[in-house]
Structure 1
Amino acid sequence: MAKAVPTFTFMLSICIPTYRYDVRALATELLRQATAVKGPVEILVYDDASPNDEDWGRSELRRLAGIRYVELKTNLGRAAIRNKMARDAQYDHLVMMDADGWPNPDFVSRYFEEVERKPQLPLIVTGGRTYAPTPPPDHRYHLHWWYGSQRESKTVARRKADGALGFQSNNFMVSKALLLRHPFPDNFEGYGHEDTVWGQQFVAEDVTICHYDNPVVHLGLEPNDVFLRKQEQAIFNLRLLKNESPHLRTRLIDLADKLPFLPAIARMAPERTLMDYLITRERPNLYALDLLKLRWWGKTE
């Protein structure tokens, strides 16, 4: 007997911002999943002004039926492009998904089912992030994999215990009205932590962040040196955001607040030595990365 196709009463806009990343396979997979549910689904793919050094799948995406593909002329950045896609989406529930994530086979239907269960909530649902079960064969990508596997890939129970601290913007669902009322902070440039401040603003609001088992696999590993440069930029941005939002919390902020002498001690460790260790080790000790982050945090004071 054929499996019954579930019928749902609301409509979903899946929003995928991309920059220098080929999302053809992801768009095709989401189109396949969308046909397996009885409910309107639109898929938006916005290219954030990727350079022309490669095609990035654009030629095929322009012809791919069933998605709304837009190539922006000016780079908006990670926060502003999400806000724009929310404004442009035609449906009342949005799924925001990073371009380098790969959905589980029931990704679309699981989000539909979650809204059906909680129709009255001011809704934010995070689905979670996982990594491949084994590190990549190229050691140049090991630092990102180890960090992601040990620090970012969390069980639903752990994310629930973390509350707003467990919010991740790579894979979440939100009502369009809520995101338009509370857009992502787009008044700074660079990489990092715009999702941290966005998720934590709801601690003082009557909004529930639901942690749900609907993960995507993070595929876009970056070389060790690139990963470290982005981590440094993220610490710089975190300081700016902390200055604007004193309530902001992260594991690093909590540690520095509890033991304020740590950043000063961390500055005694040679930065280049720490970076060389993290870049060259096949299985780096992530406490060395913590020390490096504390060093960067102390430099921003």
Structure 2
Amino acid sequence: MKMVYDLHIQAEHLCFLSHGRFSYEIIVADDGSTNKDAMKANMEINTLPHCRYIIRGYNTGRSCIRNFMAQQAKNDYLLFLDSDLAIPDQSFLKSYIESEGNDVVYGGITIGGSHKEYRNNLRFLYERKAEPEHTLEKRIKNKYKDFHTANFLIRRDIMLENLFDERFKNYGYEDVLFGKKLKQNKIKITHIQNPVLFDNFETNESFINKSEEGLRTLFRFSEELNGYTAILSLVGKINKIPALTNIIKLWHRLFGRMERAWLTGNNPNLFIFNLYRLGYFLNIKQ
């Protein structure tokens, strides 16, 4: 809800500065949520000018809900933001407005929180470790593989011609295939420094559950995503040595539960997390 208020204030300010020439709408779609308190609070979105809160009766998946919002939208450009993120500064919308004219613009993500506060949170440790690999300079060098759908601007006509793959019903990797699709269709992605703030970290148990779900999604679409994820590249190298593959698979069957208990506890370890993910993926069956 705070994100909507922040965006609304910035949008209204842009309207004022443009003497009404700037047009906008904010659409929030509830994809089958069961949190009644959150749904009740979000109903206030409908009281704000140019804002809509749409409740859908059942969960359709991250791809389908994004496609639905694109079809609901009316303006020429669409800005997609994940709801668990925050707007870090007052010039966020202005920076995207200044980048209009491009096909697709990705602003990036910055990780909030302190190590002292979140030293026992696996998601925080994972994201903070990965953050230096996603600087603007590195994103520019890897435009399509280092693209995520948590914070991007896209021309509406391009979006409607390149909808998300609705086979992706569960968590994970729909954004990777979307980036690959943009590359195949020769649609340019422009990277800028206009990040959203990620400082809302789920519990270790929840993050492990999401990671496992994402790995199952990756396994299902591994042929189409080959060459676009680090774990598939690593698995490809490991599978060239069958003995090593068998050792990792056996290790996971013997010690996977112990690793999982460690990761969901109060002292998670990133090396164990990566080992667990690798073993989990290699043990997924058709």
TM interval, short-chain normalised: 0.7 to 0.9
CA pair 242-133 structure 1, distance change in 2 beyond 3 A? same
1:99 aligned counterpart, secondary structure: coil
CA pair 103-55 structure 1, distance change in 2 beyond 3 A? closer
CA pair 136-80 structure 1, distance change in 2 beyond 3 A? farther
Task: Check if 1:298 corresponds to 2:282.
Answer: yes
Q: Which runs of 4+ in 1 moved over 6 A?
A: none
Please report how far the alpha carbon of residue 52 of structure 1 lies from its aligned counterpart in structure 2 after TM superposition.
4.6
Give the AA of the match of 2:12: T
2:25 aligned counterpart, secondary structure: strand
Task: Check if 1:225 corresponds to 2:205.
Answer: yes
CA pair 138-104 structure 1, distance change in 2 beyond 3 A? closer
**Contact 1:235/1:297 (<8 A) preserved:** yes
1:27 aligned residue = 4
CA pair 263-281 structure 1, distance change in 2 beyond 3 A? farther
CA pair 178-263 structure 1, distance change in 2 beyond 3 A? farther
**Contact 1:278/1:288 (<8 A) preserved:** yes
Superposed CA offset, 1:126-178 (max 9, x none): 111111141473666x1011111122562101212232110111001111111
Please report how far the alpha carbon of residue 263 of structure 1 lies from its aligned counterpart in structure 2 after TM superposition.
4.5
Q: RMSD of aligned C-alpha atoms?
A: 2.0
Of residues 242, 264, 267, the one that matches 1:279 is: 264
Superposed CA offset, 1:244-264 (max 9, x none): x16452010111112324543
Superposed CA offset, 1:191-247 (max 9, x none): 11111111112232221111110100113311001100110110110111223x164
- State how far apart, in whole Å, the 2-side matches of 1:40 and 1:199 are: 28
- Give ranges in structure 1 of 5+ residues lacking alignment: 1-23
**Contact 2:61/2:168 (<8 A) preserved:** no
1:166 aligned counterpart, secondary structure: coil
| Structure with greater helix percent | 2
**Contact 1:86/1:176 (<8 A) preserved:** yes
Give the AA of the match of 2:76: D
1:103 aligned residue = 87
- Give ranges in structure 2 of 5+ residues lacking alignment: none
**Contact 2:162/2:182 (<8 A) preserved:** no
**Contact 2:63/2:168 (<8 A) preserved:** no
CA pair 208-259 structure 1, distance change in 2 beyond 3 A? same
Give the AA of the match of 1:218: F
Task: Check if 1:146 corresponds to 2:125.
Answer: yes
1:82 aligned residue = 66
Task: Check if 1:264 corresponds to 2:246.
Answer: yes
2:30 aligned residue = 47
- State how far apart, in whole Å, the 1-side matches of 2:226 and 2:260 are: 30
**Share of identical aligned residues, percent?**
27
Report which stretch shifted further, 211-220 or 257-266.
257-266
TM-score (norm: length of structure 2):
0.87
1:210 aligned counterpart, secondary structure: strand
Please report how far the alpha carbon of residue 280 of structure 1 lies from its aligned counterpart in structure 2 after TM superposition.
2.4
**Contact 1:126/1:167 (<8 A) preserved:** yes
Residue-pair matches, total: 270
